[in-house]
Amino acid sequence: METKAGAAAVYQAALNEGRFIIQRCNDCDQHIFFPRELCPHCSGTSLIWEAAKGSGSVYSTTTVRRKPDAGGDYNVSLIELAEGVRMMSTLRGIPPDDVRIGMPVKAKVVDHGGSGLVVFERAGDSQ
């Protein structure tokens, strides 16, 4: 069984390789995010890693305001993945004020200072 740090390390290692994975419980068949050692649904310990579908929709969003010299405004969004779990991230390639609840999105793993990071783009936009 992995420890919490172990599960987080497995997740980050996959991101560093450009892969987006999430856990699923073999006991109750529910997907889980963020990485853990126990299923929050049934307390099962039989958790496996699966490739995330990468599709989802914006569940909630906010715009963080910053001065232009500090990088300008950006959005922070809660994304509901097709697997039914939610994760915090950001949408790229769209002005922060144009992000809308319910907007379909797709995941993309990017390099962020040498570490993999999941960000989202509006579904249907070219990369």
Domain that holds residue 12: 4-51
- Whether 8 and 15 have beta carbons less than 8 Å apart is answered as no
* 107 domain-assigned: yes
* 127 domain-assigned: no
Domain tally, the chain: 2
pLDDT along the chain (127 residues), means of 10: 69 97 97 95 95 97 96 96 97 95 98 96 75
What backbone phi and psi angles, to 5 degrees, belong to 86? Answer: -120, 145
User: Which residues, at least 6 apart from 58, have a Cβ–Cβ distance to it below 8 Å?
Assistant: 77, 78, 79, 80, 91, 99, 100, 101, 102, 103, 105
Q: Quote the radius of gyration of the chain (alpha carbons, Å).
A: 16
Q: Which two tokens stand for residue 75?
A: 């959005």
What backbone phi and psi angles, to 5 degrees, belong to 12? Answer: -65, -40
Same domain (yes/no): 61, 118: yes
**CATH classification of the domain holding 116:** 2.40.50
In three-state secondary structure terms, 104 is strand
Same domain (yes/no): 60, 117: yes
Give pLDDT, residue 85: 97
Same domain (yes/no): 113, 77: yes
